[in-house]
């Protein structure tokens, strides 16, 4: 797998996607994290260029780690939009700084 972190709190590159009952797959992803003052924590979201049904829980792995995510919708280009749960699978300045 290859992938380069993008500015401070994001990631763009190759990931592995693992969901129960589905084969492990490799995809390209664009992910970003930010501090949400209402939630009181860092939240992350993004998209992967593979199709997963909405509300599918899955693990997404980068060179930096693994995180849990949930598919939220399929965009007009067939990508799966996602919301991250817990620590993101890429460096985040607010958490690692």
38 band by pLDDT with thresholds 50, 70 and 90? confident
Cα separation of 70 and 41, whole Å? 17
Q: What is the pTM of this model?
A: 0.84
pLDDT at 48: 97
Query: For the chain, what are the domain ranges?
Result: 3-96
Q: What is the pLDDT of residue 42?
A: 83
Q: What is the mean pLDDT of residues 19-32?
A: 93
CATH of 3-96 given 2.40.10, 2.30.30, 2.60.40, 1.10.20: 2.40.10
């Amino acid at each position: 797998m290859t992938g380069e972190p993008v500015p401070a709190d994001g990631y763009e590159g190759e990931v592995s996607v693992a969901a129960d009952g589905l084969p492990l797959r490799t995809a390209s992803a664009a992910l970003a994290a930010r501090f949400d003052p209402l939630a009181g924590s860092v939240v992350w979201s993004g998209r992967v260029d593979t199709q997963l049904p909405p509300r599918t829980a899955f693990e997404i792995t980068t060179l930096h780690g693994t995180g849990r995510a949930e598919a939220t919708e399929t965009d007009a280009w067939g990508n799966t939009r996602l919301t991250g749960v817990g620590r993101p699978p890429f460096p985040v300045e607010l958490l690692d700084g």
